[in-house]
Amino acid sequence: MRVACRDCGGLLDVDYEWDQLQIPESLDFFETKWARRNDPHCLSGVWRFHDLLPFAPRSKIVTIGEGQTLLHSSDGVGQFIGLNAGQCHLQYEGLNPSGSFKDNGMTAAFTHAHSIGAKRAACASTGNTSASLAVYCGVSKLMRAVIFIGTGKISYGKLSQALDYGALTVQIAGDFDDAMQRVREVTERLGIYLVNSVNPFRLEGQKTIMFRVLEGLRWEVPDWIVVPGGNLGNSSAFGKAFTELKQLGLIDRVPRIAVINASGANTLYELFERRSLRWNKGAVDHSIVDAYYKELDDQRQRASTIASAIEINRPVNLTKCLRALEVCDGVVREVSDQEILDAKAQVGANGLGCEPASAASVAGAKRLRAEGVIGPNDCVICILTGHQLKDPTATIAYHSTDQEEFNRVLGSRGVHRAEFANRAIAVGNDLDEIIRAIHLYS
Ligand code: F0G
């Protein structure tokens, strides 16, 4: 499948002839679908919005019940960020079947792959895209999954999913950026369907995360969407969702968007905030990007962060994300691994839990609040992209009493404190000692 323009190399976009389609008059139309949830297409949090991603016939849809995710109000996390009560909401995408937001896009790309008769599908991944592809292949048996991962670069939770679901797993001596380049070459050479977010149908599915956010707010538009940035598929999809809703007259304004990089993988931050790279009505100055990538190569600089899901230096959706930033009057920030892990501990302590990359959104919101860019009464949505159990290594190290373990996993990444650690208490196998410890600590 072709994903890029033959002439300019830019990624393709899905564009609808809306005036030829029947579009609901208001968003509350979608509420009626829930009453019909015995139909899998209505149960799916992606396909109940089929009218807003009408690229495939109903008969070709492959769904495994993705998108049953919730918008939680969290005053505890709001307090950490510096927001007034009732203003902080967490969109918990870890609830998806494979444990991350990727299922929203995968059901869409997989549906397209099925509709054109693909028998093999591939992706490069930092772990979640691959887990998601592996699940869809495993459940449907329609395709064989081929996944490309960097050596030592993906967390055990994610790797275990791909292996368990039976994906052909190709471990490349390199990182995600290397794997991404190779998978594009291999899929082209072998005619394998590519499901990375270079695939425009992935983004169509990911638009629905925003539809569910609006649904959770009774169709009110929030002030801010805060999202971690890796390959920049999500942020691009969110911008497209709001552009289309506005164009269709289904919302009257768009929210602002904040994309948060890890500082060890901060290409978007560097290009947008420091080098003023802009969408510029589609005339993006690619020489700025090329010059930056050349600097990275000359200095042999590779992406490096505890948030392995977003350990990416060459985001494939950079251009589309610039468009989203323009449409949504966006900002970009970078946060350190220390900030990410502290924010993650706060998300956990308030009951939901997420993997490190997801917590970048909360850490970024805190930073923007401290700068005064986000106001204390703004309605802020942080996207929790992946489940806490995806990466237990970082969590255990943060809460560990074992200084050596802490230093080994986190110290090397500039994490020196664990302000919100919840440490296990070690006691002998002795009833009195156990009771004394419980009295002492509770
Ligand atoms: N959060 C998590 C948990 C992710 O897995 C990813 C991306 C992102 C955020 C970044 O999202 O790429 O849309 O900007 N993971 C990809 C993968 C790269 O291979 O699983 P993005």
Reported confidence tier of residue 285, pLDDT bands at 50, 70, 90? very high
The best mutation among 92, 95, 135, 234 to test binding of ligand 1, ranked by most ligand atoms within 8 Å of the C-beta, falls on: 234
The beta-carbon contacts of 189-192 under 8 Å, at least 24 apart in sequence, are 190/120, 192/118, 192/120, 192/121, 192/122, 192/146
Would you say 108 and 207 are in contact if contact means Cβ atoms under 8 Å apart?
no
pLDDT tens digits for range 75-89: 999 999 999 999 999
- pLDDT above 90 (res 26): yes
Residue ranges of alpha helices (H) inside 299-391 are 318-327, 337-349, 356-370
pLDDT score for 28: 94
Reported confidence tier of residue 275, pLDDT bands at 50, 70, 90? very high
- pLDDT above 90 (res 153): no
pLDDT score for 34: 87
Average pLDDT over residues 50-79: 97
Encoded tokens for 379: 């309605």
Average pLDDT over residues 225-238: 98
Cβ(356) – ligand 1 distance below 6 Å: no
Q: Which of 121-135, 148-162, 330-344 has the lowest mean pLDDT?
A: 148-162
pLDDT score for 196: 94
104: nearest Cα among 241, 224, 254, 268? 241
Mean pLDDT, rounded, of the chain: 96
pLDDT score for 142: 97
Reported confidence tier of residue 398, pLDDT bands at 50, 70, 90? very high
Please state, in angstroms and rounded to a whole number, the distance separating the CA atoms of residues 316 and 217: 31
- pLDDT above 90 (res 326): yes
- pLDDT above 90 (res 2): no
Please state, in angstroms and rounded to a whole number, the distance separating the CA atoms of residues 307 and 89: 22
Portion of the chain with pLDDT greater than 70, in percent: 100
Cβ(127) – ligand 1 distance below 6 Å: yes
Angle between helices 200-216 and 233-247 (to 10 degrees): 70
- pLDDT above 90 (res 442): no
Average pLDDT over residues 379-393: 97
Cβ(230) – ligand 1 distance below 6 Å: yes
pLDDT score for 7: 87
- pLDDT above 90 (res 152): no
Would you say 113 and 124 are in contact if contact means Cβ atoms under 8 Å apart?
no
Please state, in angstroms and rounded to a whole number, the distance separating the CA atoms of residues 254 and 429: 59
Reported confidence tier of residue 174, pLDDT bands at 50, 70, 90? very high
- pLDDT above 90 (res 369): yes
Encoded tokens for 247: 């164009």
Which residue, by CA, sits nearest to atom 12 of ligand 1?
231
